Amino acid sequence: MKTKQENGLESSKDKVNVLAEASQLKWSSRQEFIISLLGYSLGLTDIWRVPYLTYRNGGGAFLIPYIFFMLVCGIPLYFLEIMTSQFSGKGTWRVWDFCPLFRGFGIAFLVINWIVAAYTMLHKPWIIEYIIASFSAKLPWTSCDNEWNTPACVQSVQTATNVTFMSPYNYTTGAPMYSSTLGSISAGGNATLLTPMSSVEEFWNYKVLNISSGLDDIGRLNWKYLLYLLACHVIIWLSLVRSIQSIGKMMYVTAIAPVVLTFVIWIRALTLPGATTGMSYFITPDFERLTHSEVWIEAAFMAFYTLGPAWGGLAMYGSHNKFTDNCFRDAVISTVMTVCYGLLNGLVIFSVIGVLSHESNVPINKVITSGGFSLGFVAYPQAITYFPLPQVWAVLFFIVLLLPGLDCQTTLMEPVLCVIEENFPKTIGRRRIPLLTGLTIFTFICGIPLATQAGVYMFQLIDWYTATWSVLLIAVTESFLFAWIYGGDRLSRDALLMLGRPLPAFVRIATAFVMPVILTFLVLVSIFKYKPPTYGTYQYPEYARSVGWCFSMASIVPIFVYMAILVKNEKGSLRKRFAVLLKPAADWGPSEDSVKPAYNRLERNYQRSFKRLVKFNLTGRGGFENVRRDYDSNVSEMDSIG
């Protein structure tokens, strides 16, 4: 008969064994890891959001703070998330064992990733609708004789912008569209004036979205979109069924193909008149715009949205690295590739906008009137109509949109699975397929309301409040935990034991001093300058804004709830409880057995004062003086690992 203690020990061993099995899954090659990081960073929204923010914020002026935040705030946190998970072999949930008080971050990452995965899935039916329409003999968004068109429809941007009405009887209009924009004229001379709308915008609003009047008018369910959603969920399920073993293979297609197709579209656009003018607008900064705080706030949000630190996915990716992989080099390569693709994508988009400006005879800064994600579904399809064989280019363009969208969904769902599997390793850890199936069905059901006529209003509301302030707040807290709670000295020791080199000075200083100050300031300013969401001219009702704030807080509240539970369950005085929970957990340490003796010896003798930590974070001196000796004594063993 086994005692409770023996049963407890067996249960603990089973848990460790399951977690060990999960951590033994490694990337098949360094290239696969880098490509997967690239796929993680390149999402669908980056294709339209970065160019639109650049367009709206003075052209090249936006690129200055955007690249600044990518380099100064993005890379350090990006590297540290990968490094700590690679060092410990722990994923999105258990990596926070280095500071157990903040294990709630794992729940926050689960919530953020799942919400974003659920609502951004709506992109895919829209894109599929465009792809199917692109196989028509005549692109349906180029004419006004379709069943969804209204009397206000006009066939080109130029015609729409030139329509003017001087009096009930005297008017000028770009032929042959005047009858479409003049609703009716009564015998008394009274005219009903309709605001002109381009055929491409009507296709987007009345065919693709079939948009209702607002959230209070939910309309009917689009069964076709529901089937598209189901098909996309099945593809994501297949991509996740074998974790990184299937993700890595998928990324070779979904991450590389969009880059190749984007480059092909750019080469074609360069042959058209107006392309160079558009690219010039993209790279020429309006320095006066840099004095506007909104430019810096949006650049910071976009930098974190693009690279993906403070989302939890990087910890999942890093935990599957080999212990001695040079993750700093991989992080830099991936970041540079992401920035380069962003610049290439911007050149493509602005060359297309330049073509559109030339063809419609409208200044570049007035070509795009629709904002946000509408940019990708209104302006670009219009510009494609100026290409020879527009059907071919339309199919290519929307495939470029679809593939990053699919790999983005994959990288959002995997951290959710990782948190659940690490939190319940014995009961769920070996049952990935049932867990994945249940999560997929649940996500699909929750996404059904988005397939209604009011779906776009729900999409905009959730997008406005989710993964904005919460991500920056988590990023600020992470930088503080890394540099001041766990400590820059410990991080440097871990880097040396793992990589053979201490923490780079740039990463150390940026994490300890630059990020906490800049990001805290930006969070405060962005909250102070908060504006409620809108969709075009539609104003969201008060209850919708309250729901939006619930989405925003859904990822923050669990951090404090879990923190309170941990403090309550700990023994001793309140001060002692916090002291214990702010120290690394007993099972925190290197995943490589040959390094554990050196690590344990250094950690046992670890002594810290605030003054010493400040000195180390500033200068890199005064930390673990004997780490190099311990590393050198183990170097032969570590060489045999790789």
Coil, helix or strand at residue 282: helix
Give the lowest-confidence range in 258-262, 367-371, 372-376, 439-443: 367-371
Q: What pLDDT sits at residue 30?
A: 87
Q: What pLDDT sits at residue 39?
A: 84
Q: What pLDDT sits at residue 185?
A: 41
The model's pTM: 0.86
List pLDDT tens digits, range 33-51.
998 888 888 776 667 778 8
Rg of the chain over Cα atoms, rounded to whole angstroms, equals 27
Higher pLDDT, 636 or 98: 98
Place of tokens 């309550």: 568
Closest CA to 134 of 235, 209, 203: 203
The two three-digit tokens of residue 517, written as one number: 């100050």
Task: Count the Cβ atoms, other than its own, within 10 Å of residue 185.
Answer: 12
To the nearest 10°, the Cα dihedral for 410, 412, 415, 417? Answer: -60
Share the mean pLDDT of the chain: 84
Q: What pLDDT sits at residue 38?
A: 87
Q: What is the DSSP pairing of strand 182-185 with strand 191-193?
A: antiparallel
Average pLDDT, integer, range 234-260: 83
Q: Which fold has domain 25-140+218-630?
A: Amino acid/polyamine transporter I (1.20.1740)
Q: Which residues are annotated as a binding site?
A: 39, 407
Which pLDDT band, with edges at 50, 70 and 90, does 180 fall under?
A: very low
Q: What pLDDT sits at residue 21?
A: 52
Average pLDDT, integer, range 190-206: 75
Q: What pLDDT sits at residue 164?
A: 33
Beta bridge pairs of residue 191: 185
Coil, helix or strand at residue 245: helix
Q: Identify the H or E element spanning 338.
A: helix 327-360
Q: Which residues are annotated as a binding site for Na(+)?
A: 39, 407
Closest CA to 257 of 190, 324, 341: 341
> Over pLDDT 90: what percentage of the chain?
49
Helix axes 256-270, 390-423, angle to 10 degrees: 150
What is the Cα–Cα distance from 471 to 551, expressed in whole angstroms?
13
List pLDDT tens digits, range 413-438.
999 999 999 988 887 767 889 999 99
Q: What are phi and psi of 172, to 5 degrees?
A: -125, 145
Q: Identify the H or E element spanning 534.
A: strand 534-535
Q: What pLDDT sits at residue 623?
A: 66
What is the Cα–Cα distance from 163 to 193, expressed in whole angstroms?
11
Beta bridge pairs of residue 452: 221
List pLDDT tens digits, range 277-295.
999 988 888 889 999 888 9
What is the Cα–Cα distance from 233 to 559, expressed in whole angstroms?
29
641 has a pLDDT exceeding 60: no
What letter represents residue 616's amino acid?
F
List pLDDT tens digits, range 82-112.
999 999 999 999 999 999 999 999 999 999 9
Higher pLDDT, 634 or 161: 634
List pLDDT tens digits, range 142-162.
999 999 999 988 885 544 444
Closest CA to 203 of 3, 379, 2, 387: 379
Q: What pLDDT sits at residue 174?
A: 30
Q: What pLDDT sits at residue 369?
A: 59
Task: Count the Cβ atoms, other than its own, within 10 Å of residue 447.
Answer: 24
DSSP 622: S
| Class of residue 520 by CB neighbours under 10 A (exposed 0-12, middle 13-18, buried 19+) | middle
Can you point out the beta strands (E) in 562-618? none
Distances (CA, A) of 400 to 47, 279, 376, 394: 9, 20, 11, 10
Place of tokens 């390149």: 42
Q: What is the DSSP pairing of strand 153-154 with strand 197-198?
A: parallel
165 has a pLDDT exceeding 50: no
Place of tokens 């069905």: 441
Closest CA to 252 of 428, 82, 35: 35
List pLDDT tens digits, range 362-412.
788 777 655 566 667 877 787 788 778 899 989 988 988 888 888 889 989
Which pLDDT band, with edges at 50, 70 and 90, does 121 fall under?
A: very high
One-letter-per-residue 3-state SS of 100-161: HHHCHHHHHHHHHHHHHHHHHCCHHHHHHHHHHHCCCCCCHHHCCCCCCCCCCEECCHHHHH
Beta bridge pairs of residue 59: 285
Q: What is the DSSP pairing of strand 182-185 with strand 538-539?
A: unpaired
Higher pLDDT, 623 or 20: 623
Average pLDDT, integer, range 41-70: 83
Distances (CA, A) of 305 to 398, 469, 551: 22, 11, 17
